[in-house]
Every structure is written in C-alpha cells, then in structure tokens.
Amino acid sequence: MVTQRALGKRTGVHYDRAAMPTVLVVGAGHAGLEAAFAAARIGASVLVVTGSRATIGQTPCNPSIGGVAKGHLVKEIDALGGFMARAADACGIHARVLNRSKGPAVRSTRVQVDKRRYGEHARATLLGTPGITVIEGLVVALSTDADRVCGVVLGDGSRIDADAVVVTTGTFLGGILHTGERATPGGRVGEAPALGLSQHLAALGFVLRRLKTGTPPRLDGRTIDYGDLEVQPSEEPTPRFCWADDPAPAPATLAQVACHLTWTNPRTHAVITANLSRSPMYSGKIVGKGPRYCPSIEDKVVRFADRERHQVFLEPEGLDTHSVYPSGISTSLPGDVQREMIATIAGLEHAVFLRDGYAVEYDALDARALDHRLASKDLRGLFFAGQVNGTSGYEEAGAQGLVAGANAALAVLDRAPLVVCRDQGYTGVLVDDLVTQGADEPYRMFTSRAEYRIVLREDNADVRLADLAHAAGLVDAVRRDRAHRRDQAARALAAGQPAGIEVTPALAARADAILLYAGYEQRMRHEIARMHDERADLPLPPDVDYLAIGGLSRECATRLAVVRPSGTSQAARIAGITPAALACVWAHARLLQRRARQSEPATRFAAVAD
Ligand SMILES: Cc1cc2nc3c(=O)[nH]c(=O)nc-3n(C[C@H](O)[C@H](O)[C@H](O)COP(=O)(O)OP(=O)(O)OC[C@H]3O[C@@H](n4cnc5c(N)ncnc54)[C@H](O)[C@@H]3O)c2cc1C
C-alpha cells in the first residue's frame, strides 16, 4: 500500500489531502461531473478518480441531451446550479421542443450536441474548477472502517482517503461488450470494465442485477444519400435549456445542422429475422435485461412483428466530423448482418460503417439499498449515482449525480440534506422511484411517472427548486431571487398586467401555461397541501424489524425490510403494500415517535443523516 503523497508522485498529480472535508467521486461521466461540481459548489474539497481523462463527459450513445421528461430533468439540473444544461446549450447543433402539439406540461426540450465539443467542454470545466482535483486510476475497492467508508483502493493497491465517496461507474461494473458471437470485457468500446469493484460491492452485501443497453453502428455521412429523405431542421429561434438572463453569461450557440428521417422496411426485417440465431440476445448469451422503451432493432422486429417499418433518425455527431448516428436501430447483431441490414434502408444503401453497433451488459445496484440522498443505508459516507443505480440516459445520471454529490458534501460539512420531493421535481420522482421500487430493467424518465406533472413543468423548474438550491448552497441569492422575479413577472403577465415587463418568448410561454392550468394547478396544490397535512410523513428508522410488527403479513414485512423506507409516505408507495399493512406500519411509526419524544427529540432526517 502506498501513501497519498506517493500516489501523487506516481500519477504526476500532486494531491495532498485538503484541510476541508473531502468528497471523492469515482467516475467522470454525467453523474460524476454533476456530483463533483455540486460538492465543490457547496464547499467540500473534491477528488475525482476516473478511468481515463480522455473520456470525461463522454456521450457514448446518442449525443443528445433532453427529450420527453428528460428535458424536465435537465432544466431542474440547471435550477439546482448544475452543469448539463449550460453545456448542452453551449455545444448544441440541433434543438427542438418535443410534444409541441400537446399541453405545456409535457413539452420537453431536446438538444443534440457536438459530441467532441461536449466532451472537451466537460473536461476543461472539470479540470479548471477550483477545489476539484482529477486523478486517472481504476478503483477496485472501497476502504471501510466499521460501518463507514473512508476512501478507495486503486488497481495498483494504493489507497486514497476521503470523508465521503460517490460511486458513478456507469456501465462499467462487470461490463461485457457484445457484437454477434464476440463478447469482450469492457465498460464501453476501448475502456476496461470494473470487474474488481463489482465483486467487492457484492461482497459488501450490495445486491447487483444484470442489465443491458446498446448502441447502433456509426455511419459516414458522406456515403448517405439524403436526396429523398425527410429533413428535420433545428427550430428557430434555437430552444435552450438555460434562462438567458441568469447571472452567468449565456453560452454561445453553435451553427445548427439538419437531421433526416428514414425508415426500416420488410427487407430490413427479413435480414434481421433470418439472423436472429446469431444475435447474442436471442442465442442466450446476453442475460441482462434491456430498456423496454428503447429496444434494439432486433427486439423491435420480434416484439412488434406486425409493424412494417420503424423510423430511423439520422443525426450528425458534430460540426467537424462525418460521423452520423442512426437513432432507433441499436443492435448487437454480427457486423456482417449489420451491414446487410443497413443496406436495405432508403438513403443508406451505400453507407460506409465507421464503427459497428454493440450491446453492453453490466451490473447495476439494487437502489433500494439507498436513502433519498442516494446514500447507502448500511455504509455511512457512501453514495451511488447514475447508470450504476439501474437508470439509462445522461439526464437521469446527471440529476442523480447532483443529488448524491450535493448530499455527500452536505454530510461531510455536517449540514442538512438536500431532498427533492415528488411534488417538487422530476428529480424527486426519479430518486424516490429508484430507492422505493428499485429497477429491474434500465429505468428512464417519462412524464407519466410524475403524478404532479401539471405543476412540474419545464417552464417553472427554476422557481420550483430555487429555494432548495439556495438552502443547499448550490445557487447564490442573486440567482434564487431572479427565479422568483421571473415567476412574479409571468404571473403578472398571465393576469393581464404586462406593464414594465420585458416579454421574452420563454416568459410568454410560461404565462400561457399558468393561464391554461390555473384551475388544475390550484386543485393539485390543494391536494398536495392536504396530503402533507393529513398523512404527515412519520419517520421509520432503517433498523425497524418489520417481521416483528404484529398484524403485518410476511409478504409485506419482507417487502418493507428490503426497501427500509425512510418514512410512512415512502412505505405507502412500495408496490404490494396494502392499506391494512400500511395501517400497521403507521401505528408502529407512531409508537416509535412517542418513545423517541419520551427520551430525546428526533428530527425527520435523524435516521438517515450522517
Ligand atoms: C453502448 C452504450 C449504449 C447506450 N445506449 C443508451 C441509450 O440508448 N439510451 C440512453 O438513454 N442511454 C444509453 N446509454 C447510457 C448512457 O451512456 C448512460 O446512461 C450515461 O452515460 C450514464 O452516465 P453515468 O455517469 O452513470 O456513467 P458513464 O457516463 O458511463 O460514466 C462512467 C464513468 O465512470 C468511470 N469509471 C468506471 N469504472 C471506474 C472505476 N472502477 N474507477 C474509476 N473510474 C471508473 C468511467 O471511466 C466513466 O468516466 C448507453 C451507454 C453505452 C455504453
């Protein structure tokens, strides 16, 4: 074992443990970036240990940020002072608002970014942020002391100490890449998997499950015949995630490019069907569960056998590359079959491959082992965020990273936690779903997951989260007050009092949404307030012995014991918990509360706070 100073010499990075408590972030993907920035912003000293500096902030799949419900998450990341929204605005080359024909509550911004510029921007920002040190290395284990995590161990046996650790290892835990009959260990193409860490987490008692995701081949745009294809231009004016009047200067907009639309056809499907036995998914080689809502093309052809065609969006990956991402046809079929299949698609008859598509199978944590801070219930100081928690997508990863990184910093600085509730944001829905239900297939956000979606719109993300963000130290008072002023202005506009208000398109859209939903919103807010009053959330400590609670069925007790809910309202949302079981849990929580009052006062988060 070597000391930190020796490690500094070995890596060329001088890292002395700072005077401030240290949050160590493992990984620098989308979750890792947000975790590091949030922790640094709150005031912790941050150390990022990642497999490769070159792949910081990489977008290994579709270089697109946002989309239905995901755009809501990105706007919330911005409201919480995060990175992704500003980076996407700075590196966007095609932008649209999806669901324009539907109500404003479900409209979502989607920005396609320049892949290279996004990665470079992420790298430069991470390396240039004061208080953040980046070290290249592969973490193979956590170092622990009784019930607390106190650092990490690298592949060469060196140890780095820290006050809290945030694990954001994406698809790397036990990762295997599949293309046809070929299976190679890897987290993504060109990067080694984190085998040791996966086994180590299992040995610590974390339950891991096997999941799978995939990516399509990349095509050379110069060999695509766009002549007869439908063009999809970027919208004018360019939709953005950030408010242009926020204090930090708004990032520049790059030149915008067009996407094109083409379709698979019965010939494409015939090629796939004839070669299914060579697909690792159908030959039984892949055991991990893939994303139901973002299936591979072979999955689509099998599951929707009656469909004659599936759409394929051709999306340029950047301004100075010819690489094109054919969205909608991720595949792990062998390379020769991929080529035969692509050649059947209009416009792609002569398309040259830059890279084959592949699937990646990996271990993900059962996130029911975490609380609403995304902290382990068993090992203090340990946090998890991103794809490692069973989600899919950059936005879900980023939102979790922000929550975990902020809470790691708040915990080491001995401050109150940041918990976003389900009625405050999609971020709250995401975290609550994960820690309550877990994910037995890659979880992606949808507007239908949010029961309060009328009030959780993209247009009001800033004001919904302004106070929480400021209380946690993620945004300053100027930014918080600006969010409130914008809301007041939009409400005045909706009430027909435009005097003295500079009416931007974004403000006008918000005023329209306020008007449209006035009735619903009032009812929903009333309902939320009533719920908070009548069904006050009683805390449930993590060591409750549910099997010993009288009147509780064994099945319900087992479900509760797996999730170990932080309070009665989380218990109520666990699948399979009956009203009768809930009544028993309530009675027990009240009993605990009475006992606690008799001894010493308890706070809502006493059970989970470090
Ligand atoms: C092939 C492929 C296809 C995908 N397809 C889709 C899709 O269709 N739709 C979709 O929404 N999402 C897709 N994704 C997922 C998307 O890329 C992720 O959801 C997102 O990148 C997750 O962010 P993250 O921060 O959790 O992990 P990542 O972005 O994967 O970042 C993980 C980071 O951890 C580092 N790391 C890993 N292990 C260690 C270790 N032991 N020590 C130190 N550092 C480590 C890595 O170097 C990397 O920096 C795909 C991903 C891949 C690889």
List pLDDT tens digits, range 189-208: 777 777 789 999 999 999 99
Sorted by sequence, the CB contacts under 8 Å of residue 421 that are 6+ apart come out as 428, 432
**SS3 of residue 117 by DSSP:** helix
pLDDT at 137: 94
Report yes or no: 180 and 190 within 8 Å, Cβ to Cβ: no
Which residue owns the Cα nearest ligand 1 atom 24? Answer: 170
CA distance linking residue 99 with residue 230, whole number of Å: 19
Residue with tokens 């002549």: 227
Contacts of 598 (CB under 8 A, 6+ apart): none
- 560: CA distance to ligand 1 center in Å? 31
Q: Which residue has the tokens 């399509």?
A: 216
CA of 306 to the centre of ligand 1 (A): 33
- The SS3 of residue 371 is coil
385, 373 Cβ separation under 8 angstroms: no
Q: Report how far Cα 228 is from the mean position of its chain's Cα atoms.
A: 37
What pLDDT, on the 0 to 100 scale, is given for residue 147? 93
Question: Which pLDDT band holds residue 543 (cuts at 50, 70, 90)?
Answer: very high
**526 Cα–ligand 1 center, Å:** 40
Q: Strands 164-167 and 382-384: what pairing?
A: parallel
pLDDT at residue number 233: 96
Token digits for 521? 């919103």
At 272-330, the pLDDT tens digits run: 999 998 888 777 777 778 777 778 899 899 888 889 999 999 999 999 999 999 999 99
What are residue 177's phi and psi, to 5 degrees? -95, 135
Q: What's the rounded Cα separation, in Å, for the pair 329 and 301?
A: 10
Q: What is the DSSP letter of 235?
A: P
Testing ligand 1's pocket by substitution, the residue of 171, 329, 441, 445 carrying the most ligand atoms inside 8 A of its CB is 171
Cβ of 179 below 6 Å from ligand 1 = no
69 lines ligand 1 (CB under 6 A): no
Mutate to test the pocket of ligand 1, among 47, 68, 169 (most ligand atoms within 8 A of CB): 169
Please give the pLDDT value at position 608: 32
pLDDT range class, residue 609, cuts 50, 70, 90: very low
**CB-ligand 1 contact for 194 (6 Å cutoff):** yes
Measured in Å, residue 556 CA sits from the centre of ligand 1 at 35
For residue 545, how far is its CA from the centre of ligand 1 (angstroms)? 37
Element containing residue 388 per DSSP (H, E):
none
Question: Quick one: tokens of 330?
Answer: 């991720």
DSSP 462-482: HHHHHHHHHHHTSS-HHHHHH
How far is 276 from 287, CA to CA, in rounded Å?
16
Q: Which helix (H) or strand (E) holds 425?
A: none
Q: Do 108 and 68 form a contact (C-beta atoms < 8 A)?
A: yes
pLDDT of residue 605: 35
3-state secondary structure 152-212: EEECCCCEEECCEEEECCCCCECCEEEECCEEEECCECCECCEHHHHHHHHHCCCCEEEEE
Across the strands, what pairs with 114? none
| Residues facing 567 on adjacent strands | 539
Cα 407 to Cα 250, 374, 403, 552: the distances in Å are 27, 8, 6, 33
Task: Write the pLDDT tens digit of every residue in 357-408.
Answer: 999 999 999 999 999 999 999 999 999 999 999 999 999 999 999 999 999 9
| Residue 65 CB less than 6 A away from ligand 1 | no
Q: Return the closest-CA partner of residue 68 out of 124, 106, 122.
A: 106
- Please give the single-letter amino acid code of residue 13: V
Q: What is the structure's pLDDT at 586?
A: 84
Q: Is 26 in the pocket of ligand 1 (CB under 6 A)?
A: yes
In order of 219, 299, 452, 597, the CA distances from 423 in angstroms are: 43, 35, 6, 29
What does DSSP assign to residue 277?
A: G
- H helices of 129-238, where? 195-203
Length of the chain: 610
> Do the Cβ atoms of 272 and 330 come closer than 8 Å?
no
Which residues is 365 bridged to in the sheet? Answer: 208
Query: What single letter denotes the amino acid at residue 128?
Result: G
Environment class of 516 (CB within 10 Å of its CB; exposed 0-12, middle 13-18, buried 19+): middle
109 touches ligand 1 (CB under 6 Å):
no
294 lines ligand 1 (CB under 6 A): yes
pLDDT of residue 13: 44
- The CA 27 to ligand 1 mean position distance, Å, reads 9
Q: What is the average per-residue pLDDT within 469-494?
A: 95
Q: How far is ligand 1, taken at its centre, from the CA of residue 290, in Å?
A: 15
Indicate the residue type of 431.
V
Helix (H), strand (E) counts: the chain: 17, 21
Pick the atom of ligand 1 nearest to 177's CA.
1
On average, the pLDDT of the chain sits at 89
Are 55 and 191 contacting, i.e. CB atoms less than 8 angstroms apart?
Answer: yes
Looking at ligand 1, which atom is closest to the CA of residue 400? 26
Taking alpha carbons only, the member of 222, 252, 254 closest to residue 112 is 254
Give the residue carrying structure tokens 């991720």: 330
d(CA 243, CA 460): 11
Is the distance from the beta carbon of residue 138 to the nearest atom of ligand 1 less than 6 Å?
yes
CB 90 within 8 A of CB 249: no
pLDDT in tens, 324-361: 999 999 999 999 999 999 999 999 999 999 999 999 99
12-49, pLDDT tens digit by residue?
A: 344 555 567 899 999 999 999 999 999 999 999 999 99
What are 112's strand-pairing partners?
Answer: 64, 94
Q: How far apart are CA 134 and CA 27, in angstroms?
A: 10
The verdict on the CB of residue 49 being under 6 Å from ligand 1 is yes
Radius of gyration of the chain, Cα coordinates, nearest whole angstrom: 24
Please tell me the predicted confidence (pLDDT) of residue 16: 56
Average pLDDT for 572-588: 80
Q: With 0-12 CB in 10 A as exposed, 13-18 as middle and 19+ as buried, what is 508? A: middle
139 ligand 1 Cβ < 6 A:
yes
Our answer on whether the CB atom of 197 is closer than 6 Å to any ligand 1 atom is yes
What is the average per-residue pLDDT within 586-596?
A: 87
Give the pLDDT band of residue 607 (cuts 50, 70, 90): very low
Q: How far is the centre of ligand 1, averaged over its atoms, from the C-alpha of 69 (Å)?
A: 20
Instruction: Say whether 188 sits in a helix, a strand or coil.
Output: strand
Output the pLDDT for position 610: 27
Quickly count: other Cβ atoms within 10 Å of residue 520's Cβ. Answer: 13
Question: Could you tell me the distance, in angstroms and rounded to a whole number, from the CA of residue 116 to the centre of ligand 1?
Answer: 16
Task: Please provide residue 169's backbone torsions phi and psi, each rounded to the nearest 5 degrees.
Answer: -90, 10
Query: Which DSSP letter does residue 54 get?
Result: G
Residue (of 286, 74, 30) closest to 169 by Cα position: 30
For residue 33, the ligand 1 atom closest to its alpha carbon is: 25
Phi, psi of 19 (to 5 degrees): -70, -35
Query: What local confidence, expressed as pLDDT, does residue 259 receive?
Result: 96
Q: How close is the Cα of 305 to the center of ligand 1, in Å?
A: 31
Bridge partners for 177 per DSSP: 184, 360
**pLDDT on residue 1:** 33
Instruction: Supply the pLDDT for residue 14.
Output: 45
Q: How confident is the model at residue 520 (pLDDT cuts 50, 70, 90)?
A: confident
Confidence at residue 532, expressed as pLDDT on a 0 to 100 scale: 63
pLDDT in tens, 140-182: 999 999 999 999 999 999 999 999 999 999 999 999 998 888 8
Count of CA atoms in the C-beta half-sphere (13 A) of 543: 4
pLDDT of residue 602: 40
Mean pLDDT of 491-495: 93
111 forms beta bridges with: 65, 95
Pairing label, strands 358-365, 208-215: antiparallel
Averaged over 217-239, what is the pLDDT?
95
Q: Is the CB of 327 under 6 A from ligand 1?
A: no
Give the pLDDT score at 3: 36
Judged by DSSP in three states, 147 sits in coil
Ligand 1 center to 206 CA (angstroms): 20
What confidence category does residue 9 fall into, taking pLDDT thresholds of 50, 70 and 90? Answer: very low
Residue 591 vs residue 253, higher pLDDT: 591
- Comparing 120-134, 471-485, 518-532, 595-609, the range with the smallest average pLDDT is 595-609
Rounded distance between C-alpha atoms, residue 26 and residue 34, angstroms: 12
Index of the ligand 1 atom closest to the CA of residue 138? 42
The number of the ligand 1 atom at minimal distance from the alpha carbon of 50 is: 44
Mean pLDDT of 202-229: 95
Nearest one of 23, 86, 65 to 396, comparing CA atoms: 65
